[in-house]
Structures are given as C-alpha cells and as structure tokens.
Amino acid sequence: MVSGARAPYRPNSGRIRPLGSPVVNYKSAAETGGLGIIVPRRPIGPVERSRPKPATARATPLFFLLSGENPTLPPSEVEAVLGAEGFAYRVLERLAQVLRVEADVKSVEAVRSRAAMTRVCCAEAFRCRAVPSEILEEARRASLEGFLEGGETFVVRVRRVGGNSPGVPRLELERRLGGVILGKARGVRVSLRAPQKTFLGVLTEGGFVFGLRLAEVPPKPLLERRPWKRPFFHPSSISAKLARCMVNLARPGAGDLVLDPFCGTASILVEAGLMGLRVVGLDVKRHMVEGSLRNLRHYGVEPEGLAVADARRLPVAEADCVVTDPPYGRSTTTIGLTTRQIVRAFLSNVRDGLAGGKRICMASPKSVGVSRIGRGLGLRHLESHFAYVHRSLTREIAVFEVA
C-alpha cells in the first residue's frame, strides 16, 4: 500500500517532480523547458481497502473453461485473481483448458470481471470419464438443487476441447442430458433460443466435466483494444489480453498502485486502469509518454502519473506491484544497451526499491533468461510461462517476489 508518510516519487537529480507536489496539467517539453512530467489532478495518498474475507464461506465446486492459446497462463491467471481478491480456494484438477477448484461462489464475479484468458465460469455438478453411459448415469445421480427451479427454461451445451474424445457424439449427448434434466426437475422446459439457464459439459483429456454456467467472459472488449485500434500505435505493443493477464499475475488488490517503468503505449496501464487499479508509467522516450497519455484517456483511464524517466534509476519510492514489458526487437529503442543489460539493471534497481513481499511480473525474450537473472539478484522466482510469438521470439513471462 502506498504510504502517506512517503512521497510516491523521489526527485531524480531535480528533474522529476514528486507526485505529491502541486498538481499541474501536462505540458509539452517546450512549455516546461526540460524533461517535464505528467502529474494527476489529485495527489497520491493512502487508499482504504475492503477485501472479502471468505474463509468462512461455504466452498463450492467450480470449474472454469479457459482459452487455449497457452497451456499455463490461463489457469495461473485464475488462481492469481482468486488470491488477489482474498478468496480461499483449493485446486481440484488442472485439465486442458479447464481448471477445477473449490471456492466461494462469489469468487466467480471476480474472475468474470478481471480475467483475460477465461471463457466460462460454472458451478460443477459432476466430473467423470468421457464415456456416454457413465456420463448419463452420473447425471441421473447428481443433485440439481439450487441449479434449476420450477418454471425456468434451460439448454444443455457440450464443448469438445481440441480433438478430445472424438467417439463421443456431442449433439446426441446434449439431447440425452437434456432429457435426464427434464426427468429430474419438475416444471422446467427446454429453450434453445433464449434459455434462462445454460448447462455446460466439457470433454477434455478423456474426462467430462458438467455444471451450470454462472458467468461468461466475452472476448470482444479485449479484441476492441488490440494495439492497432488505439489512438497511439507502436509495433512492439503487447496485446490487451496478455497485458491484462500479466497484471493479474502480479496479484494487485482493489485500489493498489501498479507501476510500469517501460510503459510504451500503455498496454499494461490501460488494462490495470480498467480493472479499477491506480497506475503510474515511466518511459525513457517523451513521445512514448505522450502517446501513453493519449491511449489512457481514450479508454477513460486517468493515471496517477506519467513521467519521462530511465527505469534503471527508478524515481518511484512506493508501488504495490510492478508489471512491465521492457523493449526488445528491431522496432524498439534500447538506448544502446542489450535487452539483457536493461533487464539486469532494472531488476537490481527494483529489488532495492520495492518493499519485501511486493511482486514483479515481467516479459522478455526467452533467450534473455529473465528468471535466471532474477534469481541471481536474490528475487524469489515464483513462476514462469512461455508464449510463442513467431519463429524468432518466444516470450518468458516471469513473476518474482521481493525478498
């Protein structure tokens, strides 16, 4: 949490103004006569948080249907959201594009509103092998209490992950499961066009998971925030989906301050701001800072501050987490240094500047070995994920904790 006793920014050789100083609007370099800074219309101060304490809540079996572009990022993101929002949970099973957990059913809303790589959230009714006779027998035994009430309409949908269980006829299974439900629940009807309730079954890894859909996460908003649809574009920008996932992996809670010291086009800051988090961004290039402000305001996000600054000498005194994607590749500026040199210098600086227990989520080319660098500097390496981009680039998304 940001402390009211310390200024969130330390002056950098007198060239960067602390964010707690008198508030001004952004002005160009010519107007300010130097490096300049964008400061908020309000000073940063401590934030009162009220996080859920569901440890005493009744645990409910849940499952999440995940997007399939990466095998490890989507389930880790769900766990990170649950942890960030203060929900106690227990992982039951990780399957291809499905994560099964026990948690308070209220946690579904947190996943729905925050997650980038989740498609559907469900209350689980049963899990069995992907054998039609076994599926139907489990459906007959399963309790529908709380799932469906008299007078409601429903539909059954079955999805197949990849080519799993090709011998199980999906449409026939939908029809037969619908018949089982009609026989168990009184006064209900099937509606294919406008059902009040949707039951979802997923065929994955030789198994079948079935339950009631509680929430769906539409992909369209993230697609509408793709890099080339923003007012300010740069070819090095990461997607809104990956940016949001990285923010979640850092586990910021409501009202936390997220710092991106290589903010570029503000991909990470936009997603953090739309999640209700406070954001501060730095970049060594003035035109990138100005472009970041354009993108942030286009999406209705007002940053706590943006500044032209070198991430190797952070002017930031306090942040709740750091989420960043340093420059690499032919289209970026690395001020004459290699990506490995930038990563090492930045992690060394942030290690000394952040309080113990704070998290850093950072992307870099796999060849850089960011996890090895972080461990060598004494940071706790919590997890790494690898995302293929093209033949010459696979990103490592690493999460560290300051010791």
Same domain for 337 and 305: yes
Q: Under the phi-then-psi rule, with left for phi > 0, alpha for psi from -120 to 50, and beta for the rest, what region is 72?
A: alpha
What is the residue range of 76's domain?
54-216
Residues facing 212 on adjacent strands: 123, 199
Same domain for 225 and 212: no
Cα-based torsion angle of the residue sequence 240, 244, 246, 249 in order, rounded to the nearest 10 degrees: -160
Cβ-contact 207, 171 below 8 angstroms: no
Q: What is the pLDDT of residue 182?
A: 96
Among 155, 186, 216, where does a domain finish?
A: 216
SS3 readout for 238-288: CCHHHHHHHHHHCCCCCCCEEEECCCCCCHHHHHHHHCCCEEEEEECCHHH
Three-state secondary structure call for residue 89: strand
- Number of structural domains in the chain: 2
The pTM of the full predicted model, rounded to 2 decimals, is 0.86
Q: What is the pLDDT of residue 337?
A: 85
Specify if 355 maps to a domain.
yes
Same domain for 191 and 143: yes
Residue 397 has which token pair?
Answer: 């998304």
Q: What is the pLDDT of residue 38?
A: 44
Q: What is the pLDDT of residue 329?
A: 56
- Is the confidence at residue 56, as pLDDT, over 70? no
Better pLDDT: 55 or 9: 55
Pairing state between β 37-38 and 305-308: antiparallel
Q: What is the pLDDT of residue 217?
A: 96
Specify if 7 maps to a domain.
no
Specify if 5 maps to a domain.
no
Q: What is the pLDDT of residues 153-194, one digit of tens each?
A: 999 999 999 999 999 999 999 999 999 999 999 999 999 999
The CATH number of the domain where 393 resides is what? 3.40.50.150
Q: What is the pLDDT of residue 352?
A: 86
Same domain for 335 and 250: yes
Q: What is the pLDDT of residues 201-234, one digit of tens each?
A: 999 999 999 999 999 999 999 999 999 999 999 9
Among 174, 193, 216, where does a domain finish?
A: 216
Per-chain mean pLDDT for the chain: 86
Q: What is the pLDDT of residue 52?
A: 46
Distance of CA 297 to the CA centre of its chain: 21
Cα-based torsion angle of the residue sequence 39, 43, 44, 48 in order, rounded to the nearest 10 degrees: -150
Same domain for 264 and 209: no
Among 216, 250, 283, where does a domain finish?
A: 216
- Is the confidence at residue 62, as pLDDT, over 90? yes
